[in-house]
Structure 1
Amino acid sequence: MSDTRPETRLTLDLALTVRHDGRGGVGDDLDTVEGLTRWVREHPAVLDRAPAGHWQADPPTLEAVRSLRAAVRVLLAHAVRPDAPGPADARRPPPVTEALQRLNAAAAAVPTVPVLRWREGHDPTVTDRPAPLALTGHRAMTATLARAAIGFLTGPDLHALRACHAPRCVRYFLKEHPRQEWCSPSCGNRARVARHHERHRAPQP
């Protein structure tokens, strides 16, 4: 995803904190405050201009980010229709209407102002930044994540979104070429092995 837009990368990285755990189940990188702390430090854009190196999560922030992530995964599953969603999202997810409300509420929690930048040799760009008197804490973080998700869901990368259906995989990915079926070569290998075993288990005529 090296050439994808920042909001796409951030949204998929958040969704991919739900993952295959290597033992046949589903793992969660955000199951503890320590896990969220590590993830945010690896994704400093979540904190906008605040330094991420010494940032520490707390239980309310963990709950807010996990709630937002659930909404994002519901909307990613909705976006890949008519294909099936990722396996982790097929079991009684929140309704799409609830996911939309959750995402929009998070995005609206912190007011923003447009900030113009103009680097030498480049066209001017504008980005939204929290207003000087905006609320801080987990609301600022979830607002950033929600706005990134909205940018991705309404942007040009959405048409390439797919759910990986290799055995045990729960990831979403961007399809980068017409023949791509899986999120990674390792998933492709697992899927081909599974197909091979399935063919050989089929009763012979």
Structure 2
Amino acid sequence: MERYLALELASTIRHDGEGGVADDLGDAAALTAWVRGHLAEAGDFVAEDAVLADVLVLRRAVRALFARAVAPGQPSSADAHRLMPAEEAIAHLNAAAARVPVVPRLDWAAGAAPVARLVPERDPAGPAAGIVAELARAAVDFLTGPQRDRLRACAAPRCVRYFVKSHGRQEWCKPSCGNRARVARHYRRHHPETVQA
């Protein structure tokens, strides 16, 4: 299964298992752990509250653009009622991506094919700006790539995740969501009076 950094950032908002929503980036320590687990270049990065605030706004922009990408389908229920306007989300994403300029770099190891990578030109604003810029660029890459057409909001009750559809009939982000949806459907069929109450 392919990993998409932008999708993983959006998925830091998730169902808490008890009917509510959990935020895996609840504080600076949680962001530090998440960044170190998802970005190889993170090194000894330690998040501060200002960086956490930047990443949370970036995540909000990404989730708003994911909602736009799945339209006319329903967006995630976690933020459907309070989505950032699309134009604001685009502007925020572009500004965050531009915080650290990048230049193409050619790597060509003996016996291998040449590879072009974008690397930071310089890091004038410190490693935190580089982290936010990298997350924003990952979202730009995701939203402009072929996977955007397969992006869906999970249809399971109470699930708030987005996922990339891997086969034609997939409706849920994971098997447990499919089980929960089937149980809810069965309950509605066999107990219509309680559902309407």
TM-score range, shorter chain: over 0.9
Which amino acid in structure 2 is aligned with residue 92 of structure 1? Answer: R
The equivalent of 2:158 in structure 1 is 168
The equivalent of 2:33 in structure 1 is 38
The alignment partner of 2:178 has SS state of helix
* Runs of 4 or more above 6 Å deviation: none
- CA offset at residue 156 of structure 1? 1.3
Work out whether residues 77 and 89 of structure 1, in 8 Å CA contact, stay in contact via their aligned partners in 2: no
Q: What is the distance in 1 between the residues matched to 2:45 and 2:5?
A: 18
1:102 to 81, 88, 92: 92
Work out whether residues 108 and 143 of structure 1, in 8 Å CA contact, stay in contact via their aligned partners in 2: yes
The alignment partner of 1:180 has SS state of coil
The alignment partner of 2:118 has SS state of strand
The 3 A distance-change label for structure 1 pair 120 and 177 is farther
2:129 to 130, 139, 143: 139
The alignment partner of 1:87 has SS state of coil
1:14 corresponds to 2:9: yes
Q: What is the distance in 2 between the residues matched to 1:124 and 1:72?
A: 32
Which amino acid in structure 1 is aligned with residue 23 of structure 2? Answer: D
Q: TM-score, normalised by structure 2?
A: 0.92
Q: TM-score, normalised by structure 1?
A: 0.89
Deviations 1:156-185 (A, max 9, x none): 111111100201110110111111111111
Q: How many residues align?
A: 193
Q: What is the distance in 2 between the residues matched to 1:94 and 1:193?
A: 33
Work out whether residues 64 and 138 of structure 1, in 8 Å CA contact, stay in contact via their aligned partners in 2: no
Unaligned runs of 5+ in 2: none
Work out whether residues 100 and 123 of structure 2, in 8 Å CA contact, stay in contact via their aligned partners in 1: no
The alignment partner of 1:176 has SS state of coil
1:190 to 166, 174, 180: 180
Which amino acid in structure 1 is aligned with residue 25 of structure 2? Answer: L
1:93 to 64, 72, 83: 83
The equivalent of 1:153 in structure 2 is 143
The equivalent of 1:113 in structure 2 is 103
The equivalent of 1:127 in structure 2 is 117
The 3 A distance-change label for structure 1 pair 59 and 84 is same
Q: What is the distance in 1 between the residues matched to 2:39 and 2:48?
A: 17
- CA offset at residue 64 of structure 1? 0.6
Q: What is the distance in 2 between the residues matched to 1:197 and 1:122?
A: 57
Deviations 1:6-57 (A, max 9, x none): xxx1111100000011111000011101110110110124xx3x52xx3211
- CA offset at residue 196 of structure 1? 0.2
Work out whether residues 115 and 129 of structure 1, in 8 Å CA contact, stay in contact via their aligned partners in 2: yes
Percent same amino acid at aligned positions? 54
CA RMSD of aligned residues (A): 1.5
Which amino acid in structure 2 is aligned with residue 155 of structure 1? Answer: G
The 3 A distance-change label for structure 1 pair 134 and 116 is farther
- CA offset at residue 92 of structure 1? 1.9
Q: What is the distance in 2 between the residues matched to 1:165 and 1:148?
A: 25
Work out whether residues 45 and 127 of structure 2, in 8 Å CA contact, stay in contact via their aligned partners in 1: no
